[in-house]
Amino acid sequence: MDNSLGTTEKFPLSKTKKIRGNRHLAREKVMQVLAVYEVSQEPLDFLFAHIFVREFKFEEEEIPADKLLTPDEILEYESDIPIVWKKDEVEFAKQLIRFCMQEKKYAYELMLKYAKNWELNRIPIIDRTLILMGISELIHFDSIPPKVTMNEIIEISKDYSPNKSITFLNAVLDASFSELKKKGMINKTGKGLRVK
């Protein structure tokens, strides 16, 4: 993936509003990029450049009925809100995407093993993506405590998955974590990070 964060004119960004990025939002955006990739097979760079820089505006903002708006004002009402990221947040997201692509086959094997009686294509794309992200983060991000990874995945699932998915995600991630730990694939170091 390249390092640019481009946008296209077809999907305008607000010029008056913005929000600050953070690790939680970065994970959410990674989930969106990977889920859309799974469905569309569009290049990851393209999806990242479009999805990562914006908070999508799905609700229609009420336009004042008592005045005529200029084309710029109309565009502003229809624009997504840009996200301002720190460099390390962007790098974290790009690394997580890379590791997810690297670990996809193995993560899917773990999913099938611990999602008893489920075929992969019956697991919703969002849930598959979240489990993939959790497993990849557990394996590759030595400085992030396992509990943080698991809690983040569950928090994101509350906004994107049905309520019954939380128990499913938790069970598959817990079982996967135990296996990864037994195989020595999780190497957390530093105060509060050692895996017991």
Tens-digit pLDDT profile for residues 3-18: 444 444 567 766 778 8
- Residue at 189 is within a domain: no
Question: What are the C-alpha distances in Å from 158 to residues 27, 42, 169?
Answer: 13, 26, 11
Q: What is the average pLDDT across 182-195?
A: 71
Asked if the model's pLDDT at residue 127 lies above 80, the reply is: yes
Measured between alpha carbons, how far is 96 from 59 in angstroms, rounded to an integer? 29
Whole-model pTM: value is: 0.82
> In whole angstroms, what is the distance from residue 9 CA to residue 175 CA?
45
Classify residue 92: in a domain, yes or no.
yes
* Residue 115 CB partners (closer than 8 Å, separation 6+): 123, 168, 172
Gap between the Cα atoms of 51 and 5, Å rounded? 10
- The answer to the question of residue 4 being in a domain is no
E strands, 22-181, where?
A: 54-55, 81-84
High-pLDDT (> 90) share of the chain, %: 58
What is the rounded average pLDDT for all residues in the chain? 84
Strand order in the sheet with 19-20: 19-20, 81-84, 54-55
Element (H, E) at 75: helix 71-78
Tell me, rounded to whole angstroms, the distance of Cα 62 from its chain centroid.
Answer: 29
Any domain includes 90: yes
Q: What is the pLDDT of residues 31-40, one digit of tens each?
A: 999 999 999 9
- Total number of domains in the chain: 1
Q: How many Cα atoms sit within 13 Å of 26 on the Cβ side? A: 20
Q: How confident is the model at residue 57 (pLDDT cuts 50, 70, 90)?
A: low
Residue 88 located in a structural domain = yes
Whether 78 maps to a domain, the answer reads yes
Domain contains 5: no
- Distance CA(58)–CA(56), nearest Å, equals 6
Domain of 76 in residue numbering reads as: 19-182
| Within-domain flag for 2 | no
**Percent of the chain at pLDDT exceeding 70:** 78
**CATH code where residue 152 lies:** 1.10.940.10
Q: What is the pLDDT of residues 80-126, one digit of tens each?
A: 687 889 999 999 999 999 999 999 999 999 999 998 878 888 899 99
Model pLDDT, residue 110: 95
